[in-house]
Amino acid sequence: MLNKDEIKTLKEIESKYYMQPMIVKINVDISTKTLSLQEIFNHLYGYLVDCKDEVGNLIQKRIQKGEIKDASQARKSIAGSAFSNLIVWVFLKNKEQGSIKQNIFITSKISSIPQWQDLFYIKVGEETQKPDVDLVIYSLDSNAKLHKSLILSLKTSLRERAGQTYKWKLLMEIANTESSIKEKYDISYNPPISPLVCFATVNFYNEINNPQHRGMFKFFDCAFIGKNIQTGDFIKPLSYLIDYIGENLQ
């Protein structure tokens, strides 16, 4: 069962014009039992690529109506948003099916999470550093208080941007350790819990086998790929996310 906010989130995602072709294809794969809801996670790259022309046609129709001005900018904006929306939609569908516990939630709105500022903000002297957060998965205890959380940074490409997240992860670890570095830079961080920091990609540009990029994955608690390819231990299929949160957020 989903709560009213989760049902609202599903409907909002389904109402976005660029999501509709992908959701139609996913529903066909589910109804024909081509893929299970959990396996859908591993094929997000395919849905994004297979629906590219359909989404492009929808963009052109909106340009003709004056609803969109720049097709190129719209495509760039959609690429990242669609990946995030697909994860949330598939996550909630898995929760609706009972594969995810009722006390585990997903959100892109970090301000809706209890004690979110203490959880995400690290002080460095008089300044504040915050993580590159796309989605947060978190659990509540029996008193509806924050129990555990997982920060999920999403990238369709690894070019440059993956480094933003792992640098914050290193800063978080320094902030949680008594060290001369922490004192030198006047770092302070007092979260109610220590969040896990994870990374997910669809690897549009086949970058994950680049040694420098592979090295970055070691800094995360876990990294996932929403693409149906064989990988080693350094990155997990995105379907493993359900097992991972079951093991770590309970």
Q: Is there a contact between 208 and 158 (Cβ–Cβ < 8 Å)?
A: yes
Kindly state the tokens that stand for 213: 């990029």
Per-residue pLDDT tens listing for the chain (250 residues): 899 999 999 999 999 999 999 999 999 999 999 999 999 999 999 999 999 999 989 989 888 888 888 888 888 888 879 999 999 999 999 999 999 999 999 999 999 998 899 998 999 999 998 877 899 999 999 999 999 999 998 887 766 555 667 788 888 889 888 889 999 999 999 999 999 999 898 876 666 777 666 777 788 899 899 988 877 677 899 999 999 999 999 8
Whole-model pTM? Answer: 0.91
Q: What pLDDT was estimated at residue 74? A: 86
Rounded to 10 degrees, the C-alpha dihedral 141/144/145/148 comes to 40
Q: Is there a contact between 198 and 151 (Cβ–Cβ < 8 Å)?
A: yes
Q: What pLDDT was estimated at residue 75? A: 86
Q: What pLDDT was estimated at residue 237? A: 92
Q: Which residues pair with 196 in a beta bridge?
A: 150
Residues 3-6: contacts with CB within 8 Å, 24+ apart? Answer: 6/92, 6/95, 6/105
Cβ contacts of 103 within 8 Å, gap of 6 or more: 139, 140, 141, 147
Q: In what order do the strands lie in the sheet with 122-124?
A: 127-129, 122-124, 187-188
